Amino acid sequence: PYYVDMNQNLFLQAYLHSSDKNLRLFVDTCVASPSPHNFTAVTYDIIRNGCVRDSTYATYYSPYNYIARFKFNAFQFIRSNPVVYLQCKLVVCRAYDYSSRCYQGCITRSKREISS
């Protein structure tokens, strides 16, 4: 566990351990939950599909493609749950492959029209 105060900045870094230094790491989705076993029922999106959902989220420069750095502010769920669990999904791509998911950024899916 990592103990923080409310609204304290949390700085995170993900590092891809690989001998291939031509890989790039991309933070696709980070979701918080009051339960370590359920990241679908009661959740809070920090970033989803590359789209920032929390105004305190920010990325930081990394001199290496295989390191992703970001931060957000600590918060608590409704009903004052003292524990928050974080699950992040990262994507690994070839560096400088501009058609890869890593270079697409925020992906919004359009809603389908309901037929009459």
Q: Is the pLDDT of residue 78 over 80?
A: no
The mean per-residue pLDDT over the stretch 105-116 comes to 70
pLDDT > 70 fraction of the chain, expressed in percent and rounded: 90
Fold adopted by 8-94: Immunoglobulin-like (2.60.40)
Q: What is the pLDDT of residues 29-54, one digit of tens each?
A: 999 888 888 888 878 899 999 999 99
Q: Is the pLDDT of residue 114 over 70?
A: no
**Identity at 41, one-letter amino acid code:** A
Residue 4 above 60 pLDDT? Answer: yes
Sheet strands (E) in 2-108: 9-15, 23-33, 44-48, 51-52, 58-60, 67-73, 85-94
Give the global pTM: 0.82
- Count CB-CB contacts under 10 A for residue 108: 9
